[in-house]
Chain A
Amino acid sequence: MSAREDILDAIRTSLGPDAPGRDPEAVDVRLARHAAGLQPTRAQSEGEDRAAQFIEWAEFVATTVDLVASLDDVPGAVTSYLSANNLPAKARRATDASLDGIPWERAPLLELEPGVAVDSDAVSITGAFAGIAETGTLMLNSGHGHPSTLNSLPETHVVVLRRDQLVGGYDDAWNRLRQSGGALPRTVLLVTGPSRSGDIEQTLQLGAHGPKRLHIVLVDGEETADA
C-alpha cells in the first residue's frame, strides 16, 4: 500500500466511524462557507476611527506612517522621507495598479526603476492590497506588478496605501480578496512592522533579514477605484 493510503487508512482506523465530531458532510459545507470566526471589537472600527486605529497599531510595532492629502503629494512625501533618513533618492518600484495616478514627475530627482528587487536595492516602493486596522497590518499580494522580493530584500520598504484600502479586521481583507475574483496570489504576505529578532539575549532589535524600516504613506484624499 502507498504511504498515502497507509496514512489515510491509519487515520480512519484510529478515529473509527463513530468518533465524536466525525461528520464528513460538514467538511465541504465548511470549506464552501468559509465563515469568519468571532470578530474582536478591535476588528470592527469604522470611518475616522479606522484610520486612527490603523496608525496607532502600526506605530506600536515601529512602522512609521505619513498622512498626506492626495496622490499628488506622494512623490514629495517619499522624497522627504528618504532624505530625512539619509537614504539615496533611488528606489525599485512596483507597478501594481494601486500606484497608478501618482505624478512621480513631481519628484524629478527620485530615480525609480520597476521590476524585481536585487540585493543592491536599498529602497523599494510598493502599493498594498489592504491595510488592516486591527493590528496595523498590511496585506501585500504577489503578482506581475508586485514581485515578492520588493517586500523582503531592500532595507527600506515604502508602502503607498489609500485610505479606502483600509479595512477593520483580517477577515475583511480576505473578503475583499475573495470579491476581487481570480485565484489566490502565489504569496499573500501580512506584514506587521519591520523585520525584528530577539534571538540574541532576548533583546529586540529591528532589521534581522527583511526591511529595517517600514514606512507607510497613507493617502487621505479622494476615493479611487479598488486595485
Chain B
Amino acid sequence: MPHRATTVNFKANARKAMADVNLQKALEKMRSGFVEKRLAATGRLPEFNDLRDEAQDIKDHVLANLDHYLERFEARVVEQGGHVHWCRDATEARAVILGLCQGAEAKSVTKSKSMIAEELDLNPFLEGHGIEPVETDLGEYIIQLAGETPSHIIAPAVHKTKEQVADLFVEHHAKYGLTKRHEEAPALLEEARQVLRAKYLAADVGITGANFLVAETGSSITVTNEGNAELTQILPKTHIVIASLEKVVPTLEDATTILRILARSATGQEFASYTTFATGPRRPDDLDGPGAYHVVLLDNGRSKMLGTEFQDMLRCIRCGACLSHCPIYSHVGGHAYGWVYSGPMGSVLNPQLIGIEASGHLPNASTFCGKCEEICPMRIPLPKLLRHWREREFEAGLPPAAQRAGLGLWAWLAKRPALYHGLSRLAVGVLRLMGRGGAIRTLPLAGGWTQGRDMPAPEGGTFHAQWKARGQGS
C-alpha cells in the first residue's frame, strides 16, 4: 500500500473537513459553479446524451480488445521514432521515469497535471534523486508549494483561499526576488506566470499525463485550459507521457466523440482551451518540439479489473463531474478520501488500487442518491459498483462485529413479517414521541448519525400501513 494513504481514517478525516470553514466555503462555491455550468453546457448541445451512448460503446469495444489496441498504439509510436515502456506497477514506472530523466541529465522537470503521477507519488521520488519536479498547472503548483495532494481531479487547489495562495507565494517566491504580497487573483496569476515561465525554459524534461492515447496514430492527447501541457512538452528536449492502459481509444474520430462530452461534463465549457495531439518526437524539418518522445504505460492493477464487475470503471475519463455533483464529496472535499482519487469514482477505484482492507469506508460513504451515474458522461454505474465493493467487504469479514450483528438481526426480522410489522409500528410511535418538534436531535444507538444532523420525526404510519391505506398503490 502506498505510504501516503490515510483512507482508513476516512471518518476522522471527514469530521475534520466538515469543521474546516475555508474548505466548506470553497465546496459551497464549487457546488453551484460546476453543477450549473455543466447543466448550461449540456443544454446547448441537444445531442449530448446520444454522444454519451457512443462514447460508452467506444470504450466498451476498446476494453474488450484492449491488448490489440495497445499493440497497435505501440507499433505506431515506434514507427514515429518514439518509445513505449510497459510497467506492471508504480515501482517499475518510477524506475523507468528516473532512468529517462537521468539519461537526459535532467536537473529540473516540468510536469503538466497527471493523476497517474499522483498514483506513482512521483514528485517526492524525483526529489529524492536530486531532480526538481515543477508542477505547472496553477492549481497543482499551489498545492505543490503547500506540500499537499490534489483535492479534486480538475480543480486540485479548490480547497485553498486566495489568502492562503498569497501566503504560499510570499513564502516561496522571495528567493526569486518577488517579495510583494498580492492578494487579488489577477496579480497572483501574473506572479505564477512569471515564476513558471522561467521554469519551463530551464526544464530538461517535460512530463505530461494523457487524456487519451490514439491507437490509429500513436498520439497522446492532453487537454488543458492554461496551455501548460503545451509549454511542458514543446520546450524541453524530452517529452515523457505517463498514462494508464485504459486511456487508449481507436481513432482520432473516436477521441473526438469523447472530447465532445469531456469539457462539457468537467467544467461546463464547450471545449477546453487547448487540446494537443502529440505524435512522436519532432520531425527532421521542425524548428522546435521535443527530440525524444516516451510513453510510460502503467497497469497498476487495471488488467485485473477486466472481465470483472469493475470493468465498467475503466471507461472513466477523469472529468471530475461525479465529484462535483456528489453530496458526500461536496461536504468533505477530496482529501478526506485519503488517497489519489476521491468522490464516487475514487470510492470505486481506490479499493481496487490500494485494497478494500485499507479503503472499506469509501464504498460506504455514499447516500446512493444516484446523481453520479445520472451525470457520468461515460455512463459508469457507480452506485452498482459501490454495492459490489460493499459485498466484497462483507464477504471478507471486514465490517465491525456490531454492524454484522445488526444486519443479521435485521435479516432475521425481515423473514418474520408479523413480528417485523409489529416492531416497526412500535418504533414509529416511539420516534414520533421523541420528535415532537418535528426533528429528533439525539437517537440512542445512532449517536454517530445524529451528531452531524437531526433525524426527521416520522409522519403518519409505517410504510406498510400507508401502502395498505392507499389500496396498494393502485
The chain A residues found within 8 Å of chain B, CB to CB, are 2-4, 6-8, 10-12, 14-16, 19-24, 26-28, 30-31, 34-38, 40-42, 57, 60-61, 115-116, 119, 135-137, 142-144, 147-149, 151-153, 170-171, 174, 183-203, 205, 207-211
Question: Chain B contacts of A170 at CB under 8 A?
Answer: 256, 259-260
A144-B285 in contact given A37-B257, A199-B137 (Cβ < 8 Å): yes
Query: Contact at B88–A152, with CB atoms within 8 Å?
Result: no
Interface flag for B385 (CB, 8 Å) = no
Tell me, rounded to whole Å, the shortest Cβ–Cβ distance linking B430 to chain A: 46
Tell me, rounded to whole Å, the shortest Cβ–Cβ distance linking A135 to chain B: 4
A21-B71 in contact given A41-B46, A200-B162 (Cβ < 8 Å): no
Name the CB-closest residue of B to A208.
Answer: B226
Please pick, from A38, A115, A210, the residue contacting B47 in the complex, using a CB distance under 8 A. A38
Instruction: Give Cα A114–Cα B286 distance, bound, in whole angstroms.
Output: 14
11 residue pairs A–B, Cβ–Cβ below 8 Å: A3-B86, A34-B250, A38-B51, A61-B269, A135-B271, A148-B288, A152-B231, A171-B253, A184-B217, A188-B277, A211-B227
The chain B residues found within 8 Å of chain A, CB to CB, are 26, 29-30, 33, 45-47, 50-51, 54, 58, 60-61, 63-72, 80, 86-88, 92, 136-139, 142, 155-158, 160-162, 165, 185-186, 188-190, 192-193, 196-197, 200-201, 215-217, 219, 225-228, 230-231, 233-235, 245, 250-254, 256-257, 259-260, 267, 269-283, 285-289, 297, 299, 303-308
Query: Contact at A196–B270, with CB atoms within 8 Å?
Result: no
Query: Contact at A11–B278, with CB atoms within 8 Å?
Result: no
Tell me, rounded to whole Å, the shortest Cβ–Cβ distance linking B146 to chain A: 13
4 residue pairs, one from A and one from B, having the closest CB atoms: A210-B227, A21-B64, A208-B226, A199-B139
Please pick, from B29, B66, B271, B280, the residue contacting A192 in the complex, using a CB distance under 8 A. B271
Query: Contact at B88–A144, with CB atoms within 8 Å?
Result: no
Question: Chain B contacts of A4 at CB under 8 A?
Answer: 86
A37-B273 in contact given A7-B86, A15-B306, A208-B226 (Cβ < 8 Å): no
Query: Contact at B274–A210, with CB atoms within 8 Å?
Result: yes
Please pick, from B61, B186, B279, B307, the residue contacting A185 in the complex, using a CB distance under 8 A. B279
Question: Chain A contacts of B303 at CB under 8 A?
Answer: 7, 10-11, 14
Tell me, rounded to whole Å, the shortest Cβ–Cβ distance linking A150 to chain B: 9
A202-B226 in contact given A20-B64, A137-B271 (Cβ < 8 Å): no
Residue of A8, A147, A186, A190 contacting most chain B CB atoms (<10 Å)? A186
Question: Chain A contacts of B282 at CB under 8 A?
Answer: 186
Tell me, rounded to whole Å, the shortest Cβ–Cβ distance linking A23 to chain B: 7
A15-B189 in contact given A21-B65, A211-B227 (Cβ < 8 Å): no
Query: Contact at B158–A202, with CB atoms within 8 Å?
Result: yes
Query: Contact at A208–B227, with CB atoms within 8 Å?
Result: yes
A14-B306 in contact given A30-B251, A37-B54, A195-B273 (Cβ < 8 Å): yes
Query: Contact at B287–A116, with CB atoms within 8 Å?
Result: yes
Question: Chain B contacts of A26 at CB under 8 A?
Answer: 61, 65
Query: Contact at B51–A186, with CB atoms within 8 Å?
Result: no
Tell me, rounded to whole Å, the shortest Cβ–Cβ distance linking B140 to chain A: 8
Instruction: Give Cα A183–Cα B81 distance, bound, in whole angstroms.
Output: 13
A186-B280 in contact given A14-B307, A23-B65 (Cβ < 8 Å): yes
Tell me, rounded to whole Å, the shortest Cβ–Cβ distance linking B23 to chain A: 13
Question: Chain B contacts of A38 at CB under 8 A?
Answer: 47, 50-51, 54, 257
Name the CB-closest residue of A to B297.
Answer: A7
Question: Chain B contacts of A23 at CB under 8 A?
Answer: 64-65
Tell me, rounded to whole Å, the shortest Cβ–Cβ distance linking B106 to chain A: 20
Instruction: Give Cα A196–Cα B274 distance, bound, in whole angstroms.
Output: 10
Instruction: Give Cα A201–Cα B157 distance, bound, in whole angstroms.
Output: 8
Name the CB-closest residue of A to B66.
Answer: A11
Instruction: Give Cα A149–Cα B233 distance, bound, in whole angstroms.
Output: 10
Query: Contact at B286–A174, with CB atoms within 8 Å?
Result: no
Instruction: Give Cα A2–Cα B88 distance, bound, in whole angstroms.
Output: 10
Please pick, from A40, A184, A198, the residue contacting B46 in the complex, using a CB distance under 8 A. A40
Query: Contact at B270–A144, with CB atoms within 8 Å?
Result: no
Q: A144-B287, A208-B189 are in contact. List 9 more A-B contacts (CB 8 A).
A: A3-B87, A15-B306, A21-B63, A26-B61, A27-B69, A37-B257, A119-B197, A195-B274, A208-B226
A148-B270 in contact given A40-B260, A186-B286, A197-B138 (Cβ < 8 Å): no
Name the CB-closest residue of B to A6.
Answer: B88
Question: Chain A contacts of B231 at CB under 8 A?
Answer: 152-153, 209-210
Instruction: Give Cα A115–Cα B287 distance, bound, in whole angstroms.
Output: 8
Query: Contact at B252–A174, with CB atoms within 8 Å?
Result: yes
Instruction: Give Cα A195–Cα B304 distance, bound, in whole angstroms.
Output: 39
Tell me, rounded to whole Å, the shortest Cβ–Cβ distance linking A99 to chain B: 15
Please pick, from B50, B260, B273, B278, the residue contacting A61 in the complex, using a CB distance under 8 A. B273
Question: Chain B contacts of A20 at CB under 8 A?
Answer: 64
Query: Contact at A10–B304, with CB atoms within 8 Å?
Result: yes
Instruction: Give Cα A174–Cα B277 distance, bound, in whole angstroms.
Output: 12
Tell me, rounded to whole Å, the shortest Cβ–Cβ distance linking A176 to chain B: 12
Query: Contact at B277–A3, with CB atoms within 8 Å?
Result: no
Question: Chain A contacts of B26 at CB under 8 A?
Answer: 201-202
